[in-house]
Structure 1
Amino acid sequence: MLAIATLLLVLAGAGALAVWLTRALQVFKADSDATLAARNAEVGRQLEGITATMDRRLGELDTKVDRRMEHASKQTNAIHKQLGDVGRATTLLAEHAKELGQLQQVLRPPKARGGFGELLLGNLLRDRLPAEAYSLQYGFKNGERVDAVIRVDRLAPIDAKFPLDNFERLVDAQENSERELHEKAFSRDVKGHVDAIAAKYIRPDEGTYDFAFMYLPSEAIYYELVCGKTGALLSYAHEKRVLPVSPTTLTAYLQVVVLGLKGLQIEQHAHEVMAYCAQLQKDFGRFKEDFDLVGTHLGRAQTKFVDAEKRLDKFETKLDQAADSREVDAADVVAELPRAADAAA
């Protein structure tokens, strides 16, 4: 019986424990559900925030990518355009190179080079000087013609020379011996041109200066003549009173000539002003003489006026005295009339 009672007690305790456990589990489940719901809500809010942030950043990234793609597209188009321009420029340069090659072939004959140099010289003078300050193809009495002269006080002759053949051989020479050979040939050409200019165009008796210019259309040729190993040619030219010039150095000379011409114009205008002032001085002298004469006449007239005024004052005084004397005589006559009447009666 005791065992049965104990068993019943155990069973009753187990039932109570089961009920308590059931209730505890239900409470724990409710608490767990609430906690999970709160956690789920919080996680949902965080996920929404993260999603919104990601969406915003993705939108900004899309905008930046679109802008960069647009910029890259513009740069690509610009590069394609520049490449097209470069291609056209390359084609144009090739055409120019071809034209230069043709021009080089055309300039092979010395006469053609001379004509080309004269053309460049004429264009340079036309750009820098007034038309009356120079002449092209100026002729001397002996029939010689210089390419141009500059008119200042006297004539400054300028002749264009283009010693190209031996200069090109000199530049293209690879061996020293070959170079020395072409240097001698180039020096011989330049000396020949210097001698011809000195003999033909320096004519002080016909109004030229005692020097002349030798115009070299190529700066490279001028540099070789002045600074190269053939630099002794410059001293030779100066001894002959011939001044080699390039387009650059001739432009500097022409600038000085222009300033000189302006100075001459100023001097001429100054002489004209001085002549005008001298004429004004003469006119002023004549006016002063007339003014002095008028002053003299006015002075005499004033003297006569003063004398006449004095005489008029004297005459007025005499008139006053005469009038006073007449009044006295009339009073005496009036006083004597009654007595005369009485005497007559």
Structure 2
Amino acid sequence: MSDSTFVLFGRTLTVAEALIAISAVALLALFLVLVALVRANRSRTATERAAEEKSRALEAQMAELMRMQSETSGRLQTVAEVFGSRQSEMTRALSERLDGMGHRLGSSMSQASNTTHDTLRQLHERLAVIDSAQKTMSGLSDQVTQLERIFSDKQSRGAFGQGRMEAIVRDGLPEESFTFQPTLSNNSRPDCAIHLPNGAPDLMIDAKFPLESFSRIEQAETEQDLKEAQQAARRDLIKHIDDVRKKYLIPGETQDLAFVFVPSESLFAQIHERFPEVVQRAYRARVVVLSPTLLHLAIQVVVTVIRDARIREEAHVIRAEVGHLMDDVNRLFDRVMKLQQHFGQAQKDVEQIVISAEKVSKRGSRIEALEMETDGEAQEPRPTRAARAS
């Protein structure tokens, strides 16, 4: 076993050498451990002293902290109690306010619901009215379109004016007082002839009015177009008035005045606004431009004239009837006077009858008184007729 060798760190050692080396190393290690323990003990002692000092300081701080914590805990408990009472009060007040607010909110919601319901109902009614108005506007739009179509066609426009004029004349005059489209001695045909009373000449009415130039006035976009349209309208209007004067003013056959009927109030106002000199020229030519309203008034004047003429025609009949009425009144007066005489005589007869009745009553009273005296004096002799006579 002594011959056994080991190779350690590049050297060949025997077992004994190895044991010695290991022992030396163990001793060295033990020495180093002891040295380390001594140093550690020293350092631990200093550390323990510092730790004890720190521990005492910490205990003092802990005690102070415990005191402060107890104080803080008491304060916190007081604050908690205060907060608890305040919280309960706040909870109660908040509950009451929430209840009141809920009640007010409920009533407000109810009122808002009722108001909304009423508003929706009114809105529905207004929408119904608007719907009806829209339908009416649609109908009016269709009518305006038809009217525009009528005015765009000369023949249709003449028929429209003729129709309005005929409606006004028919509404205001009896059938025998007018004739539509008669033929005059010059072969002209006015739209209407009104027959005046007492053999007076007829009054002519023309319903054909030139509208093309006035339509151009409404459609004019520039100042030059407006000026040209106004000149054309003035020229057409003057020509139409001259034609009416030449055709419908016939001495001895027609009146020296003729009417030109304009079927639109706005067009009538436009003529007087834009062409007042042409209107004055028409008056001088004994041609009067009339709107539907003025034609109504003229018809009423004609009706008044016809009524006055009929009253004059029937004046002699009225006079004769008044004479007969006066005769009847005189006859009635005579008969009343005779009746009064009869009543007077009857009254006198009644008065005489009353006097006779009074006399009979008095005589009966005296007779009754005489009988009563006779009953009271039964023993006395009844007087003779001669004695009563004396």
Asked whether the two chains share a fold, i.e. TM above 0.5, the reply is: yes
The 2-side partners of 1:123 and 1:44 are apart by 86
The alpha carbon displacement at 1:134 in A equals 1.9
- 3-state DSSP class of the match of 1:95? helix
| 1:108-139 deviation per Cα after TM superposition (whole angstroms, max 9, x unaligned) | x3x33223221221111112222232221122
The 2-side partners of 1:221 and 1:57 are apart by 64
Alignment counterpart, residue 217 of structure 1, candidates 263, 267, 279: 263
Change in CA separation of 1:93 and 1:44 when aligned onto 2, cut-off 3 Å:
same
Tell me what 1:262 maps to. Answer: 307
C-alpha contact 1:194 1:242 (8 A) present in aligned 2: yes
Paired positions, count: 251
The 2-side partners of 1:87 and 1:224 are apart by 30
The alpha carbon displacement at 1:63 in A equals 3.1
* Aligned 1:1-345 pairs, distance under 5 A: 57-105=104-152, 107=153, 109=154, 111-153=155-197, 154=200, 155-206=202-253, 208-228=254-274, 230-278=275-323
| 1:119-167 deviation per Cα after TM superposition (whole angstroms, max 9, x unaligned) | 2211111122222322211222343321112222332111112211112
C-alpha contact 1:224 1:231 (8 A) present in aligned 2: no
C-alpha contact 1:134 1:149 (8 A) present in aligned 2: yes
Question: 1:212 corresponds to which letter in structure 2?
Answer: A
C-alpha contact 2:207 2:261 (8 A) present in aligned 1: yes
The 1-side partners of 2:278 and 2:257 are apart by 16
Change in CA separation of 1:82 and 1:267 when aligned onto 2, cut-off 3 Å:
same
Change in CA separation of 1:276 and 1:72 when aligned onto 2, cut-off 3 Å:
closer
Change in CA separation of 1:204 and 1:282 when aligned onto 2, cut-off 3 Å:
farther
Change in CA separation of 1:200 and 1:112 when aligned onto 2, cut-off 3 Å:
same
Question: 2:304 corresponds to which letter in structure 1?
Answer: L
C-alpha contact 2:259 2:289 (8 A) present in aligned 1: yes
The alpha carbon displacement at 1:212 in A equals 1.0
Question: 2:182 corresponds to which letter in structure 1?
Answer: Y
C-alpha contact 1:161 1:217 (8 A) present in aligned 2: no
Change in CA separation of 1:86 and 1:280 when aligned onto 2, cut-off 3 Å:
closer
Question: 2:160 corresponds to which letter in structure 1?
Answer: F
Change in CA separation of 1:266 and 1:53 when aligned onto 2, cut-off 3 Å:
farther
The alpha carbon displacement at 1:268 in A equals 4.1
Question: 1:134 corresponds to which letter in structure 2?
Answer: F
Tell me what 1:299 maps to. Answer: none
The 2-side partners of 1:283 and 1:91 are apart by 68
Question: 2:235 corresponds to which letter in structure 1?
Answer: R
Question: 1:131 corresponds to which letter in structure 2?
Answer: E
C-alpha contact 2:151 2:157 (8 A) present in aligned 1: no
Change in CA separation of 1:72 and 1:92 when aligned onto 2, cut-off 3 Å:
same
The alpha carbon displacement at 1:68 in A equals 1.7
Taking structure 2 as the reference length, the TM-score comes to: 0.53
Structure 2: gaps spanning 5 or more residues: 1-88, 332-390
The alpha carbon displacement at 1:222 in A equals 2.6
Structure 1: gaps spanning 5 or more residues: 1-41, 288-345
The alpha carbon displacement at 1:267 in A equals 3.8
Taking structure 1 as the reference length, the TM-score comes to: 0.58
- 3-state DSSP class of the match of 1:132? helix
- 3-state DSSP class of the match of 1:139? coil
